[in-house]
Amino acid sequence: MTYLFNTPDQRREMLQAVGAQSIDELFDQVPADCRLSRALELPSPLTEMELEREVSVLAGRNVAGGKRVCLMGGGVYDHFIPAAVDEVVSRGEFYTAYTPYQAEASQGSLQAFFEYQSLVCRLTGMDISNASMYEGGTSVSEAAFMAMRVTGRHDKVVVLGSVNPEYREVLRSYLSNLKCELVVLPTPEGTAQLADVKKALDDKTACLVFQHPNFFGCLEEPEELARLARSVGALSIVAFDPISLGLLRRPGDYGADVAVAEGQSLGIPMQYGGPFLGIFTCREKFVRKMPGRLVGRTTDRIGRPCYVLTLQAREQHIRREKATSNICTNQGLLALRATAYLSLVGPQGLKEAAELCCRKAHYAAERLTSIPGVKLAFDRPFFKEFTLRCTGGAEAILLKARQAGFDLGPSLSRFGTAIGDSLKDAVLVAVTEKRTKREIDDLAAALGG
Amino acid sequence: MTYLFNTPDQRREMLQAVGAQSIDELFDQVPADCRLSRALELPSPLTEMELEREVSVLAGRNVAGGKRVCLMGGGVYDHFIPAAVDEVVSRGEFYTAYTPYQAEASQGSLQAFFEYQSLVCRLTGMDISNASMYEGGTSVSEAAFMAMRVTGRHDKVVVLGSVNPEYREVLRSYLSNLKCELVVLPTPEGTAQLADVKKALDDKTACLVFQHPNFFGCLEEPEELARLARSVGALSIVAFDPISLGLLRRPGDYGADVAVAEGQSLGIPMQYGGPFLGIFTCREKFVRKMPGRLVGRTTDRIGRPCYVLTLQAREQHIRREKATSNICTNQGLLALRATAYLSLVGPQGLKEAAELCCRKAHYAAERLTSIPGVKLAFDRPFFKEFTLRCTGGAEAILLKARQAGFDLGPSLSRFGTAIGDSLKDAVLVAVTEKRTKREIDDLAAALGG
Amino acid sequence: MRNLLAAKPLFELAHAGRRGCTFPASDVPERSIEALVPKSQISASLPELPELAEPDVIRHFVNLSTLNMSVDTHFYPLGSCTMKYNPKRHERLARLPGLVDLHPYQVDEAAQGMLAILFEMQEMLAEISGLPAVSLHPAAGAQGELTALLVAAAYFRDKGQHRTKVLFPASAHGTNPASAALAGFECVQLKGSAHGLVDLEELNAHLDETAAVFMITNPNTLGLFEPEIGRIARIMHDVGGLVYIDGANMNAILGITRPGDFGGDMMHFNVHKTFTGPHGAGGPGAGPIAVRDFLADYLPAPVVARRGGASDKPAYRLTVPSKSIGRMRTFFGNVGILLRGYLYLRTLGAEGLKAVSENAVLNANYLMTRLSDVLPTPHGKRCMHEFVASARAVQKERGISAMDIAKRLLDYGFHAPTVYFPLVVPEAMMMEPTETESKETLDAFADAIHKIVAEDPKFLHEAPHSTLVSRPDDVQAARKPILKWEPSAS
Amino acid sequence: MRNLLAAKPLFELAHAGRRGCTFPASDVPERSIEALVPKSQISASLPELPELAEPDVIRHFVNLSTLNMSVDTHFYPLGSCTMKYNPKRHERLARLPGLVDLHPYQVDEAAQGMLAILFEMQEMLAEISGLPAVSLHPAAGAQGELTALLVAAAYFRDKGQHRTKVLFPASAHGTNPASAALAGFECVQLKGSAHGLVDLEELNAHLDETAAVFMITNPNTLGLFEPEIGRIARIMHDVGGLVYIDGANMNAILGITRPGDFGGDMMHFNVHKTFTGPHGAGGPGAGPIAVRDFLADYLPAPVVARRGGASDKPAYRLTVPSKSIGRMRTFFGNVGILLRGYLYLRTLGAEGLKAVSENAVLNANYLMTRLSDVLPTPHGKRCMHEFVASARAVQKERGISAMDIAKRLLDYGFHAPTVYFPLVVPEAMMMEPTETESKETLDAFADAIHKIVAEDPKFLHEAPHSTLVSRPDDVQAARKPILKWEPSAS
Ligand SMILES: Cc1ncc(COP(=O)(O)O)c(C=O)c1O
Ligand SMILES: Cc1ncc(COP(=O)(O)O)c(C=O)c1O
């Protein structure tokens, strides 16, 4: 009982002060017929030493870390995380604090989140950023809901088939009890067919959602897509890859109305899927309609500059059912990770990382497609990730790679109908700045290239 | 160049302010004939990512951590380290601070070291503790030198053969350019022969040095040894095992004049031999003769209680060649580890740990001596460590164990003449609270027991 | 030991040409980037990120951190937030490479250790809630609510029922109505009783065949256990609706009573509260939900299943419930936080978990008693894990508001309680000490409050006095929002 | 954000019966402890350690930490201490299980990765020093001195020479004479020249066939490079003695000049200074020594050797030099610190290392220039990596002492320079900015000093004003030392 403070003698004293005979008496308000009359059936307690032993054994049963070489993608990537990022988020004053409602006791977090918002605006070229959403998928949904509020159109949302299937599934769930139609435009060539997009959009459409680079790794034509949306009064919502902005044009450059992202690449470990970081940015004019917390700068009683949570009137704890979102707990500590990461890499580091990813991915694509039976699924430019089709089947190549110490994937069959049968022999391969030529060569050799 | 701040433009500005044409000019004081006219030949620089990759590979070439089971001893032990200890020493304010000379800017370290001194006094039952020495071996030497100062006897130091051979070797080196005789009393039965000790001590003897539990794991008769020393006016110096004090009598209880220890067991990882913690405690009356830093409590300008480095007149930076030791940089951060460790385990935890070590060591001794050809070297009570003789040779049993995932040892042959040929088939085995019955059984089985 | 220089805005610390993290040169055959990516896609300039060296960054953020209060440094009795101690072993173990470096799309057979942990977490939460089917998927409590409501919607759709209303008491947390609205329900807010409890008549008055879900936090926001919870559930079930238990206050009743036992059909846990997340200055959390058997098939995907019987296939796998509402987020869930919750539960066991609630409730009652002379608690003679005291008396007598006391507490080295919530209590001060605080701390805190209410009111209006800033101007912040740093603004 | 409650002495936070770390029950067959260990050996009572829970301990030490200044938080221009930034990658990598969990007696074939690192560290230090034989064994600089002096003693003994004297300038660091005395040498302290350098005549006057070693810090304590170092070495060699270079100030000359090139026969490095240890609030350090070929056989054991040629034996092994003086401590050395030094050198490479010194020297010269109007530097128009300014003028004119300025700097958020050392400079303020500080920081520091010297002297005598305590009473502390907490003393 390492965490409980009061000793039996103290508990007695306290009960006496309270005027109760026993601790049980304090629970008198709980009706007898609701009380659990037995002990919970949970595994027996463990000391720290035992816990460490047991969990280390379990961790050892995962194929991860150590000598593995990770080329997996699909929205989560094995990017390098500088040690200084870990150091920043390891400060107890950050990670054991609550949401910074009490401004005087939270200037550290508040300023850090203000800096996060500022950095993300600069990264994306967008006007404003909130202080984080749950992750990339819900950011897309929140963006679509905001588009409905902004446009007043609640009937139709158009999303490209080249958008991460999980993002699309989340959107479908979020819309499942509403009357809004979700139109998914197939992208058999790996990217949007502009003519189809144009056809799908109309004056009932709240927004067009696309991803760039998209789920298959391919580059879309973002400026065109944003223009098409604009032309029918819909918002363009792009899901981008933060690392790609060390090389590619920014959402603000190509006219996106809302730019969201999974921020995992910015210094966040893969940890089997979360916690990650939902980045959410948009045009200034949407500020009072946007979801999520915002930190603003102001001055204090005697004019000193300081930071506070602001525009809270949008949020659930004030506006309740009229709130712009139901989000309360967000992903503060991950936003702090991204802040530290962006501060450390700076413009030049981000460029280096992006170019390394790009170069190595192209080298890997070249090497892997030299393997008989393996080819690129799409003839489209890509950034750091690409889709391979494998005559021998997706699972076979993944297994072969895994046995040689390389993790590829996911296999697109994992996504079922959200991707469809036509790509069930396909796998994703992502190459980050961490991979070396040697590893890529070894992988190709292991796969028979 | 992640660590260098000034950019080329700033360097130019600064040079201008300084009135120099170039950085080179600043080095004009270095005579030309001393200047290195070539670049240093060092390995090429590595980015953080490369460094991590390279060092991880090297770390992987050591047989350590992960799935190994460590039963090695000889002064360094695989005790459990609570995560909270790591958290405390990971605070940048502690580990990136200097020696707390500037008291107002160092109250955190000063108070922590004051608490360290207090805890160590309570642990040992001794009057005073300094704020740390390098490690156990030099603590022994420093104690012997203090004994010479205190007794005014500079001719003879007596040390038992059952003292850690490395402690004895250090003492020999420290005395190598002095006229002091170092008498080592053999302990063929594993512990001191009191009659021999008595014979060896005389009124020229500065001190008697013994270890308890001793290097072979055996328990000495500390009270008798202290008494024998006292009877000739020599100081008794004991090297103890901090964990053993959860069970065994304290140096203060049995009348030691000086009690020193290797503090590694108190929350410090094994890290191939250092940095560790030299514990140094003694009687109050030696305070002005003792080596090492001391933190004292005092009050400030307006009477507030506070902490300062004190009795610095003993130290090299004030007393120079008359100083009580040459130590300057000590082992502050390791003292902080021990402070956190002792605070966390408390009296009850220390008792639990000590008893677990003792019980498991005895179980292990029983199991291992049931292996044909393996027997205890000494018929003496022991605490957590014991010496085995192996008919098949020491190296053979170590190798066999190692191949099965168990690390034993060291083999006593490692210590050459400091131990002697009679024990060259012997190995040490230490059993900490971390070991399980299952592991011990598996080890015994792997060795043919 | 403040260093205001290093705490300047990040952007003002930057200098052109400085580098933090650098990357190695490319080792693959050199080709120009334009040969790989169409030039039209390439940005003409780099993002305008600040240029800093690693020491700048560390000194900046370490200094910022010291401007925070936190559980590691201060007593933090923020009501409704369960600011308990976050054990350091969790941080160490959650960092094990086999856990932290695991890609979410790693195939099941290569993630058996993780799946075993998550499966066991599902099982433990089912046992603690008394509700057999668990989804670890939701990212936080609010998403748990939304998820459960969409599960309910799917269930009703499946049964061919058209239920449109979600009901909740006025004291409900803001996420309850917000989630209901987001899920496409109509929100019905019920007035509470004079005792701070659910008013059964009011509830009855709003019930009909369109009632889908009644959402209730129990123990409620006033720190009271709804004595009529059994009847409330029966009434709701009688009209064919479901009862949702907002589990934010589970810290009061672990091993004492279970939502499934007092009539709940669905609930969420806030792992970052009850199972010591930690809070991360706002997040992340994890908001797993537990539901009754008949709702299990609608749970979002994926859930972890264990293969029964002997098999040479791996024991654990991800599955999709047969009528699943789909996903509510990408990937499995906020695994890093779930893991910490798992470690907590494995450390405590059944007895330890019950002791958590016992001590949380004892601490709250003790503190309430210690403060009763100056800050009486209008609702209830006893409380559960938290209580809502009122500063109305000192406000009337001495002109000292709840806000004044809260701000002044910072000077005494304590974080403030939640103030002005819930609205039913005038000058509300909602205090939740949690079980990981000692009597000594509670006494010191109570002593501080006693001193504060005797201080000069004018002095208190200007509190805090020891912090870097005092009483920020929220109105100014909202009127002309400055939401990012700009060169001119500095 | 101070929490003075948590910063109370540890012992006052304790409460009987509270537990922090607990251990599992024994799993081996139960036997009474008395059956294992003689009763007479067993303590009748437990040590009187405080009883605390984990949250107590964390909150206590985290709060204490915030009472420190440190490199992570503040500019720390402490002269002679090389308070440079400690890279975070070092902390991460030094924690790798294969390094941190390695037992020192692991056999060589099972420690090849570690031995490879240590071997390469030896090689790199040999190259940097210009002295071919390296021992990584000593625990800190002072132990490096002692070790080298014992090496010299063994060498002279071996050559049948009876040399008894160690000479050093008056400005030598205290460890130099202390080490010489400990090693059994007679200490001869030489007066310095008016320029703060070695006085050659004075040196000559003390040289004879009993002179063993001349110890010299170069660059010296005034931040000046001894221009006559070549001649000094020749003089010393001419009488058959050896020259020891105290390498504490190596940060000034990395890749610029090498002790082996300017006549040194032996030297130590302070890895915790030059190669960014970190300092750990007093330690640990690592004080490897490098010596000339003819001294190599006397080095302490063990050293790492690489097997030449093809062999199926492991490449690296520990060896004992043929005439080794033996060990100076247990085990290999302060490996954790050596490792950080290794990581630093591998990060920087030759060019980076030279840039360290260039920038360290530029920063020092710049700061010296910025302060020259108010705190002139009496010795030298230029300095190396540090300089010793004097507050004599402000002291005379305004009654403001070096101590006043130092203490007041704390209020401005800067750590103080070293004061009143070396003694040759009146009102000395010894400043070493290091290379990891920016011009902006140096400017802010210089600005602060300019402000301070214009402040009210009386106000300054009572500085610092913003810290928890101000001007502790050292005399009281030493007169009746209180060296541990006792119940009565609180
Ligand atoms: C009663 C109650 N319900 C719901 C929530 C929302 O949970 P979360 O913040 O995890 O989304 C909270 C959190 O503050 C709460 O206190
Ligand atoms: C010039 C000089 N020599 C020697 C030393 C002693 O080194 P260490 O503290 O590592 O023992 C120091 C350290 O302060 C020093 O500055």
End-to-end CA, chain C:
24
Ligand 2: atom nearest CA of D80 is: 16
> Which chain A residue has its CA at the smallest distance from B59's CA?
A66
Residue C272 near residue C138, CB atoms below 8 Å: no
Task: Report pLDDT digits (tens) over B278-294.
Answer: 999 999 999 999 999 99
**Phi, psi (deg, nearest 5) at residue D291:** -140, 165
Distance from CA of C238 to the nearest CA of D (A): 47
In this predicted model, what pLDDT tens digit does every residue of B40-61 receive, in sequence order? 999 999 999 999 999 999 999 9
Is the pLDDT score of C489 beyond 70? Answer: no
Contact B67 A90 (CB under 8 A): no
Residue B5: per-residue pLDDT: 81
How many Å separate Cα C30 from the centre of its chain?
A: 50
| Cα gap C156→C162, rounded to integer Å | 7
Say if strands D133-135 and D289-291 run parallel, antiparallel, or are unpaired.
Answer: antiparallel
- Is A433 in the C-facing interface, judged by CB distances under 8 Å? yes
Rounded Cα–Cα distance for residues B367 and B376 (Å): 11
Pure H helices in A61-97: 83-89, 92-95
Give per-residue pLDDT as tens, D346-382. 999 999 999 999 999 999 999 999 999 999 999 989 9
For residue B83, which residues of chain A lie inside 8 Å, CB to CB? 48
Mutation choice for ligand 1 from C78, C175, C176, C434, CB with most ligand atoms inside 8 A: C175
Please indicate if any CB of chain D lies within 8 Å of the CB of A17: no
Best mutation target among A33, A145, A329 (most C Cβ atoms within 10 Å) is A329
Task: Count other C-beta atoms under 10 Å from residue D257's C-beta.
Answer: 24
* Pairwise CA distance, residues A57 & C484, whole Å: 46
What is the rounded distance in angstroms from the CA atom of residue B106 to the CA atom of residue D459?
22
Q: Which residues sit with their C-beta closer than 6 Å to ligand 2?
A: B 328-329; D 80, 140-142, 173, 175, 217, 246, 248, 270, 285, 287
pLDDT at C97 over 70: yes
Ligand 2 center to D143 CA (angstroms): 9
Length of chain B: 449
Q: For D157-190, what is each residue's pLDDT tens digit? A: 999 999 999 999 999 999 999 999 999 999 999 9
Q: What is the pLDDT of residues C170-191, one digit of tens each?
A: 999 999 999 999 999 999 999 9
Secondary structure class of B385 (helix, strand, coil): strand
Provide the token pair at A180.
């809004």
User: Is the predicted pLDDT of residue D490 greater than 90, yes or no?
Assistant: no
Q: Which two three-digit tokens encode residue C392?
A: 């109305």
Report how far residue B8's alpha carbon sits from residue C16's, in angstroms, rounded to the nearest whole number: 10
Decide if B108 contacts D291 (C-beta within 8 A). no
Average pLDDT over residues D38-50: 96
CA distance A352 to chain D (A): 18
- Asked whether B225 and B207 are in contact (CB, 8 A), the reply is no
CA distance D294 to chain B (A): 19
Contact C214, C232 (CB under 8 A): yes
pLDDT in tens, C299-341: 998 999 998 877 778 899 999 999 999 999 999 999 999 999 9
Backbone region of residue B197 per phi and psi (left: phi > 0; alpha: psi in -120 to 50; beta: other values)? alpha
Which chain B residues touch D161 with a CB distance below 8 Å?
A: none
Asked if A214 contacts A244 with a C-beta cutoff of 8 angstroms, the reply is no
Of B46, A69, A432, nearest in space to C24 by CA: B46
Share of chain B above pLDDT 70, in %: 100
Q: Please give the average per-residue pLDDT across C385-406, as a whole number.
A: 98
DSSP for A188-232, written as a single string:
TTSS--HHHHHHH--TTEEEEEEEES-TTSB---HHHHHHHHHHT
The C-alpha atoms of residue D476 and residue D458 are separated, in whole angstroms, by: 23
Q: Where are the alpha helices (DSSP H) in B100-135?
A: 107-124
Cα D432 to middle of ligand 2, angstroms: 14
* Two tokens, residue B391: 């008919």
What is d(CA B123, CA B341) in angstroms, rounded to the nearest whole number?
12
Q: What is the DSSP letter of B382?
A: B
Q: How far is B444 from chain D (nearest CA, A)?
A: 14
Residues of chain A with C-beta less than 8 angstroms from the C-beta of D91: 83, 87
**C490 — pLDDT class (breaks 50, 70, 90):** very low
ipTM over 0.95: yes
Whole-number average pLDDT of chain D: 96
From chain A, the residues in CB contact with B60 under 8 A are: 66-67
pLDDT of residue D169: 95
Ligand nearest to the CA of D245: 2
Query: Mean pLDDT throughout B321-326?
Result: 94
- Exposed/middle/buried for D318, CB within 10 Å: 0-12, 13-18, 19+? middle
Query: What digits encode the pLDDT tens for the residues C411-461?
Result: 999 999 999 999 889 999 999 999 999 999 999 999 999 999 999 999 999
Q: Which residue do the tokens 């006693």 mark?
A: C450
Residue of D nearest to A49 (CA): D23
Name the stretches of chain A with pLDDT < 70: 1-2
Judge whether C182 and A142 are in contact, CB under 8 Å.
no
List the structure tokens of A73. 């993608």
Burial C64-96 (b: 16+ CB within 10 A, else e): bbbbbbbbbbbbbbbbbbbbbbbbbbbbbbbbb
Rounded Cα distance between C350 and C357, Å, is 11
Residue from the list A2, A5, A49 with its beta carbon closest to the beta carbon of D24: A49
Closest alpha carbon within chain B to A50: B434
Distance C173 CA to ligand 1 centre (A): 7
Chain D contact for A58 (CB, 8 A cutoff): no
Atom 10 in ligand 1: residue holding the nearest Cα: C141
The overall average pLDDT reported for chain C is 96
Residue C156 sits at φ, ψ, to 5 deg, of -65, -40
Cβ distance of A49 and B83 shorter than 8 Å: no
Between the CA of C89 and the centroid of ligand 1 the distance, in Å, is 25
pLDDT reported for residue B65: 77
Shortest Cα distance, chain D CAs vs residue C72, angstroms: 5
pLDDT of residue A1: 57
Rounded to a whole number of angstroms, the distance from the CA of D25 to the nearest CA of chain A is 10
Q: How far does chain B reach from its first CA to its final CA, in angstroms? A: 57
Instruction: Name, in order, each residue with C-beta under 8 angstroms of C278's C-beta and a sequence gap of 6 or more.
Output: A95, A96, C71, C86, C272, C340
Report the atom number in ligand 1 closest to the C-alpha of A326.
Answer: 11
Q: A90-100 in b/e burial notation, b at 16+ Cβ within 10 A?
A: bbbbbbbbbbb
Interval B366-418: pLDDT, tens: 999 999 999 999 999 999 999 999 999 999 999 999 999 999 999 999 999 99
Continuous segment of H or E residues that includes residue B304: none
On whether the pTM is more than 0.90, the answer is: yes
Question: Which ligand 1 atom minimizes the distance to the CA of C145?
Answer: 4
pLDDT of amino acid A231: 98
Which of D333, D334, D337 minimizes the C-alpha distance to D318? D333
Which whole-number Å values give the CA distances from C472 to A103, A296, B222, C414, C452, in the listed order?
A: 7, 11, 66, 19, 21
Cis before A275 (ω within 30): yes
| D365 CA to centre of ligand 1 in angstroms | 57
Q: With an 8 Å Cβ cutoff, is A90 touching chain B?
A: yes
User: What one-character-per-residue DSSP string does D430-452 give?
Assistant: EE---TTS-HHHHHHHHHHHHHH
Of the candidates C334, C347, C352, which has its C-beta nearest A275's C-beta?
A: C334
Nearest neighbour of C20 by CB, restricted to A250, A339, A345: A345
What are the C-alpha distances in Å from C295 to residues A38, C133, C324? Answer: 26, 8, 10
* Helices and strands, counts by H and E, chain D: 17, 12
Best CA proximity match to C271, nearest among C183, C330, C336, C215: C336
Which stretches does DSSP call E strand in D128-176?
133-135, 165-169
CB contact, 8 Å: C114 with chain A? yes
Query: Nearest ligand, CA of residue D421?
Result: 2
pLDDT digits (tens, 9 = 90+) for C231-259: 999 999 999 999 999 999 999 999 999 99
Interface-testing mutation among D1, D71, D101, with chain A (most A C-beta atoms within 10 A): D1
CA of A30 to the centre of ligand 1 (A): 22
Residue entry with tokens 């008013």: C199
**Rounded Cα gap, residues B280 and B134, in angstroms:** 10
The string of pLDDT tens digits covering residues D66-95 is: 999 999 999 999 999 999 999 999 999 999
For Cα atoms C343, C347, C353, give the angle at the middle one, nearest 5 degrees.
105
Residue nearest atom 7 of ligand 1, based on CA coordinates: C141
Q: Which of C13, C73, C467 lies at the smallest CB-CB distance from D3?
A: C73
> What are the distances in angstroms from CA C450 to CA C402, C446, C454, D268?
13, 6, 7, 60
* D458 within 8 A of B98, measured Cβ to Cβ: no
Q: Quick: pLDDT tens for C266-296.
A: 999 999 999 999 999 999 999 999 999 999 9
Among A49, A82, A90, select the one facing B434 at the smallest CB separation. Answer: A49
Size of interface A-D (CB pairs under 8 A): 53
Amino acid in position B277: L
- Distance of CA C376 from the midpoint of ligand 1 (Å): 26
User: For the segment B176-230, what is each residue's pLDDT rounded down to a tens digit?
Assistant: 999 999 999 999 999 999 999 999 999 999 999 999 999 999 999 999 999 999 9
**How many whole angstroms separate alpha carbon D375 and alpha carbon D187?**
34
> Which chains are within 8 Å of A by 3+ CB pairs?
B, C, D
Beta strands in D72-231 (DSSP E): 133-135, 165-169, 186-190, 211-217
**DSSP category for residue B19:** T
At B157, which amino acid appears? Answer: V
* Contact map slice: D 54-93 vs A, CB within 8 A: 54-56, 58, 62, 87-89, 91-93
Nearest to C85 among D3, D55, D67 (CB): D55
Distance A171 CA to ligand 2 centre (A): 64
Of the residues A220, A271, A315, A436, the best mutation for testing chain C's interface (the one with the most C CB atoms within 10 Å of its CB) is A271
Q: Which ligand is nearest to the CA of C142?
A: 1
C50 touches chain B (CB under 8 A): no
pLDDT value of position B1: 57
pLDDT of residue C314: 85
DSSP string, A268-299: ---GGG-S--EEEEE-GGGGGG--S-EEEEEE
